[in-house]
Amino acid sequence: MNLRNVAIIAHVDHGKTTLVDRLLQQSGTFRENQRVTERAMDSNDLERERGITILAKATSVVWNDIRINIVDTPGHADFGGEVERILNMVDGAIVLVDAAEGPLPQTKFVVGKALKMGLKPIVAINKVDRPDARANEVVNEVFDLFAALDATDEQLDFPILYGSAKEGWMNFSEDGPKDEGMKPLFDLVVRHVPAPKIEEGPFRLLGTIMESNPYLGRIITGRIFSGTVKPNQMAKVLDRDGKVIEEGRISKVLAFRGLERTPLDEAEAGDIVSIAGLPEATVANTICAPDVTEPLAAQPIDPPTLAMTFRVNDSPLAGTEGSKVTSRMIRDRLLREAEGNVALRVFESDDKDAMEVAGRGELQLGILIETMRREGFELSVSRPKVLLRRNDAGQLEEPIEEVVIDVDEEHSGVVVQKMSERKADMIEMKPSGGGRTRLVFYAPTRGLIGYQGELLTDTRGTAIMNRLFHDYAPFKGEIAGRRNGVLISNDQGDAVAYAMWKLEDRGPMMIEPGWKVYRGMIVGEHTRDNDLEINVLKGKQLTNIRTTSKDEAVRLTPPIRMTLEKALSYIQDDELVEVTPKSIRLRKKLLDPNDRKREERRKEAETV
């Protein structure tokens, strides 16, 4: 069977999805006059809005009668769980590297996994048209990275292509020629990536990507390791330990043909296909013929490092904006998410109305919350907390991340100072071209919560931060959190501009006039370090005295705009973010001020 399976792996923003666009266009997958959106593989709304890939997806093209299955993978470390599974499906990898930025943490993370599995990489240096491109230096950095990751001699002898996915060309020289388009890349994939190894025996497929379809039910995508599969064939599903989860009939076998899926009468070993009709099957399960007893080995997934508590929204405004508000609905939705996303863990919390969700990072959990609010859910979410563990000697350990910050030289001092306050150790500091410096730190995950916004403020928006889970290390002690207190509303109603104007010297507001507020809701940031209750509902005394100086128009300072990620990193342990389809509000966990004082006294007594 003339077939090649290849994954495209790279750091975020290095051009994977754009490269897949060009491969689809130049292989003749689209008609001449067909209108195709940019970044066609980014199919869900959040991916399009943020310009990032969240879910791994497969497609296929035909080149000189050889079918090439291509898998587009996410570049963010938070979605690394997707990439780890994908590598089981392919026999080769195109490692895409930005010609200016060079290999960054996520490149290192995925390449390390790919090399360990014995994949032979093709290195493609993308964006050579950038004015600050330094292709030759980047090739040396990639070689050093492969050597540091214990690549074999065969893997170190990797072929190199240069080009620009945006301009639609790749070649063996950075000067071109450009008129051959993507032909050199296609030819190299056919030549360098081995055809899939086909094992003997009956039908076996390892589930790698799961999605649900309103007509076909649950669809599992994976690679067939042995045998053939047809619609209406009997099959059973085994988990990692070989336990039978279900037996049933396969209703449809679908193959990727460009961006479309087409039903097949039969699929052979080595191909990547989607199977429908098995409602219990999930990721990392083996779907196989009834006489198979041994499951296929699935790649172990790195453990989650952050956890959040998702609870029912119990504020006075609960149920006014969302349609899905009960704890049962939230629980079912989270359990459904955990089935398809192996990097997420969902646990029952001690509190009956709450669920504990553990994941790889703030971005991954933030995307889950954003997806839920768009589906009509209302919920309140706690501050992310780091998952600690004890080693064999009983010592407390915490997750440490490798942080790479690219920053203009003039701002490097403030970045080093802020990172040391957050208990980070600097590993490396080197110029990265164009008057910029690359700083590498090992920092506790706890210290990085909420640092992204502060970093951009300190560096006037010029810094780029990339982070990746490194290892567990002994607990580094307390890290100072937010330094300012908050302004809390002492009553329920609609905020009044006059009252907010009078309170401006207390600190910046987070609400606008006319917004609904309630007792215990956070409406602004206090200029001092303590919390303060204020009244934002008090209107102007309407007397019959009128003077021009008295009656000036109220001009308010623009409020602090709270995005979901900003809100999650801003709150403290005694606060929650209330998320509804229309609003993001900050509130105290205990809305009643007397309850809060009682809790404070109890904590003081405990510490004494």
pLDDT in tens, 347-379: 887 777 788 898 877 778 888 898 899 889 999
Q: Is 166 annotated to bind ligand? A: no
Q: Is 126 annotated to bind ligand? A: yes
Q: Which residues are CB-neighbours of 119 under 8 A, at least 6 positions away?
A: 87, 90, 91, 92, 93
pLDDT at 318: 87
In this prediction the pTM is 0.75
C-alpha 285: how far from its chain's center?
A: 23
CA 250 – CA 83 distance, rounded (Å): 27
Q: Is 391 annotated to bind ligand? A: no
Task: Assess contact for 491 and 441: CB atoms under 8 A.
Answer: no
Please name the residue ranges forming H helices in 38-134. Answer: 45-50, 80-86, 105-116
CA 370 – CA 53 distance, rounded (Å): 15
**Is 50 exceeded by the pLDDT of residue 526?**
yes
Residue for token digits 């790749």? 170
Q: Is 129 annotated to bind ligand? A: yes
| Residue (of 98, 237, 78, 208) closest to 163 by Cα position | 98
The class (CATH top level) of 204-288 is: mainly beta
The residue-averaged pLDDT of 98-124 equals 82
**Is 90 exceeded by the pLDDT of residue 119?**
no
Task: Assess contact for 569 and 362: CB atoms under 8 A.
Answer: yes
The residue-averaged pLDDT of 407-413 equals 87
Q: Kindly indicate the confidence band of residue 14, based on its pLDDT and cuts at 50, 70 and 90.
A: confident
pLDDT at 430: 85
Mean pLDDT over all residues of the chain? 82
CATH of 486-607, one of 3.40.50.300, 3.40.630.10, 3.30.450.30, 2.40.50.250: 2.40.50.250
Instruction: Give the residue, 547 or 464, on which the prediction is more confident.
Output: 464
| CATH T-level topology, domain 309-385 | Alpha-Beta Plaits (3.30.70)
**Is 80 exceeded by the pLDDT of residue 104?**
no
CATH of 390-474, one of 3.90.1150.10, 3.30.70.360, 3.30.70.240, 3.30.70.100: 3.30.70.240
**Is 60 exceeded by the pLDDT of residue 539?**
yes
The residue-averaged pLDDT of 406-431 equals 88
Domain 390-474 shares a fold with domain 486-607 = no
pLDDT at 544: 64
20-24, 219-223, 591-595: which has the minimum mean pLDDT? 20-24
Q: Kindly indicate the confidence band of residue 518, based on its pLDDT and cuts at 50, 70 and 90.
A: very high
pLDDT at 546: 58
Q: Kindly indicate the confidence band of residue 394, based on its pLDDT and cuts at 50, 70 and 90.
A: confident
Q: Is 11 annotated to bind ligand? A: no
Cα distances (angstroms) measured from residue 602 to each of 598, 599, 606, 608: 6, 5, 6, 10
Q: Is 539 annotated to bind ligand? A: no
| Residue (of 577, 524, 511) closest to 366 by Cα position | 577
CA 310 – CA 280 distance, rounded (Å): 25
CA 108 – CA 90 distance, rounded (Å): 18
pLDDT in tens, 254-267: 888 776 788 888 88
Q: Kindly indicate the confidence band of residue 32, based on its pLDDT and cuts at 50, 70 and 90.
A: very low
Query: What is the H or E stretch that residue 587 is in?
Result: strand 584-588
Residue for token digits 């991916």? 47
Task: Assess contact for 582 and 491: CB atoms under 8 A.
Answer: no
For the chain, the distance separating the N- and C-terminal CA atoms, rounded to the nearest angstrom, is 73
The pair phi, psi for residue 303, each rounded to 5°, is: -75, 155
| CATH T-level topology, domain 3-192 | Rossmann fold (3.40.50)
pLDDT at 488: 92
Q: Kindly indicate the confidence band of residue 52, based on its pLDDT and cuts at 50, 70 and 90.
A: low
The residue-averaged pLDDT of 32-60 equals 56
**Is 90 exceeded by the pLDDT of residue 431?**
no
Q: What is the DSSP string of 202-255?
A: S-EEEEEEEEEETTTEEEEEEEEEESEE-TT-EEEEE-TTS-EEEEEE--EEEE
79-88, 223-232, 440-449: which has the minimum mean pLDDT? 79-88
pLDDT at 240: 80
Q: Count Cα neighbours of 402 within 13 Å in the Cβ-side half-sphere.
A: 15
**Is 90 exceeded by the pLDDT of residue 521?**
yes
CA 403 – CA 437 distance, rounded (Å): 14
29-38, 107-116, 298-307, 355-364: which has the minimum mean pLDDT? 29-38
pLDDT in tens, 478-488: 877 677 889 99
pLDDT in tens, 131-157: 888 888 889 988 888 888 888 888 888
pLDDT at 579: 92
Q: Is 242 annotated to bind ligand? A: no
pLDDT at 296: 81
pLDDT at 218: 82
CA 217 – CA 223 distance, rounded (Å): 20
Q: Is 127 annotated to bind ligand? A: yes
How many percent of the chain have pLDDT more than 70? 89
Q: Kindly indicate the confidence band of residue 40, based on its pLDDT and cuts at 50, 70 and 90.
A: very low
Instruction: Give the residue, 552 or 223, on which the prediction is more confident.
Output: 223
C-alpha 36: how far from its chain's center?
A: 26
Q: What residue spans define the domains of the chain?
A: 3-192, 204-288, 309-385, 390-474, 486-607
The pair phi, psi for residue 410, each rounded to 5°, is: -65, -20
60-64, 96-100, 538-542: which has the minimum mean pLDDT? 538-542
Q: Is 168 annotated to bind ligand? A: no
Q: Is 14 annotated to bind ligand? A: yes
User: Where are any strands of DSSP class E within 299-353?
Assistant: 306-311, 345-348
Cis? peptide before 177, omega within 30° of 0: yes
Instruction: Give the residue, 581 or 38, on which the prediction is more confident.
Output: 581
The residue-averaged pLDDT of 231-249 equals 86
Query: What is the H or E stretch that residue 463 is in?
Result: none
pLDDT at 39: 47
